[in-house]
Structure 1
Amino acid sequence: MSGEPIKPRNSDAVSTKAERDGALPQAKTSTSEDVADFVARARALSPHAPGARGRLIFALDATMSRQPTWDMACALQGDMFREASALGSLDVRLVYYRGYNECRATGWISDSGKLATLMSKIDCRGGDTQIGKVLTEARREAVASGVRALVFVGDAMEEKVDELCAKAGELGMLKVPVFLFQEGDDPVAEQAFREIARLTGGAWCRFDPGAAAQLRDLLRAAAAYAVGGREALLKLSKAISGAAKLIGQMK
């Protein structure tokens, strides 16, 4: 697979060198005015307004241990679009991290073939987790243009859990649930993922390494929520176990 980086968002102006290189911008310290503005936006935002397109951030750990699941996710991501097409329309923004301090994002994509092509150009590289940057990017995008859900697929957590929880709490205020799908049984990752899910009103689920059917059901369920909200997820829960697992945890 090629190491060619994914370009940053298509429609936004790119002003900093980091953004021109495709990296996500560094988080800045919030002032009291920033916090007040954030709260006002959170109260006004309706994540499932009638007629709105479903917007889902699809975040993946692309460190070296993720290579088998990355390939599997490339093959399965089309199922998210197929599930969503029965309910409306879905836009997906891919975010991934790998290597040393590398965290990148695509623009919003409405075609599963295009997303698969972009993912096929990315190879996994060794490095630490950067979940905090994923949460920060989801918050930025939620405030800027609205996000209905964040899906994260990973197997580890190597950051300060309290800092992740603070970011998760902000997403909870914005009504952006995080669905965390954990490969394997790392107890440190599970504890952090469960808490992020709780704070955002989302859900945590484990899937077995290489279990395509389990991950497929979870991705389909997340897509259904992104387009149709709780009602769509509840209906799907009667047919697939992945949806039942998610709706059973959500507030």
Structure 2
Amino acid sequence: MSDDRTPTRTGSTSKPAVQRSDSAAIDAFVRQARALATPDAGGQGGRLILALDATMSRQPTWDLACSLQGEMFDAVGKAGGLNVQLVYFRGFGECRSSRFVRDTDSLKELMTKIDCRGGHTQIGKVLSHALKENERGKVNALVYIGDAMEEGIDDLANKAGKLGLHGVPVFAFQEGHDPVAEAAFKEIARLSKGAWFRFDRSAASALSKLLSAVAVFASGGLKALEARGRAEDRLMIEHLKKAGGRG
């Protein structure tokens, strides 16, 4: 992992039994998330890693992705108390990261300067990077946005499981409908106790709200989502329950 360390250019059912079961699962996840995703006691706020696949296949919708991610940064700025790091990969083994910053305007500017380049996915590097960053300081969530998976699923699953054990949920947003990527992204989300969503250009507004919910979760955990209480927050809790509630 190449580490820039500065954000500069770098190249429904009605059955009572089911309802009780769902409620118990949600309650269990809420208790777990409160224990794992509470911001640090030192008052530095939560830390979120936003990782992007910048290979050539994403070029057609890169502008949309930048716009949505920019809206997430705006939501982060309004919520406060969240430090964001941008990670991206492209080309022949190029994988870079910025510093963790609260001034997300600089990250929005950086995203607009990144051009997509041909190359294979490097999701394993992203997951390994998140594990290393979590050793330096608590990482509350990892958001990954991509459309393909060209690596060994067993290696990715192992790293995702380690992230789950360390309380770093992966929120995987899949662009397109590639079945291999979908299976892998869902498994990464499940093992890390995160959530998987479809990154669809026809649902830009919904995606923006979901990304905002991720930001709120990373900055304040489930307590913050419950306090805000928007529809997207309830949806996020449900997705997290589905991913984290299965053994």
Q: TM-score, normalised by structure 1?
A: 0.77
Look up the SS of the partner of 2:52 in the other structure: strand
Letter matched to residue 125 of structure 2: K
Tell me if 1:245 matches 2:235: yes
CA contact (8 A) 1:81 1:90 kept: no
Instruction: Quote the residue 1:146 is aligned against.
Output: 138
Alignment size in residue pairs: 214
Q: Deviations over 1:36-68 (max 9, x none)?
A: xxxxxxxx9875334341211000100111123
Give 1 or 2: higher helix fraction. 2
CA contact (8 A) 2:37 2:218 kept: no
Instruction: Quote the residue 1:8 is aligned against.
Output: 4
Structure 1 residue ranges without an equivalent (≥5): 1-5, 11-21, 24-43
Instruction: Quote the residue 2:205 is aligned against.
Output: 213
Instruction: Quote the residue 2:115 is aligned against.
Output: 123
CA distance in 1, matches of 2:177, 2:146: 11
Look up the SS of the partner of 2:168 in the other structure: coil
Tell me if 1:109 matches 2:101: yes
CA distance in 2, matches of 1:249, 1:182: 15
* RMSD across aligned positions (CA): 2.5
Structure number with higher relative contact order (C-alpha < 8 Å, ≥ 6 residues apart): 2
Look up the SS of the partner of 1:60 in the other structure: strand
Tell me if 1:198 matches 2:190: yes
Instruction: Quote the residue 1:234 is aligned against.
Output: 226
CA distance in 2, matches of 1:240, 1:83: 16
Cα–Cα, structure 1 residues 234 and 183, in superposed 2: closer, same or farther, change >3 Å? farther
Instruction: Quote the residue 2:61 is aligned against.
Output: 69
CA contact (8 A) 2:77 2:102 kept: no
Cα–Cα, structure 1 residues 152 and 123, in superposed 2: closer, same or farther, change >3 Å? same
Shift of the alpha carbon at 1:234? 3.4
Identical residues among aligned pairs (%): 54
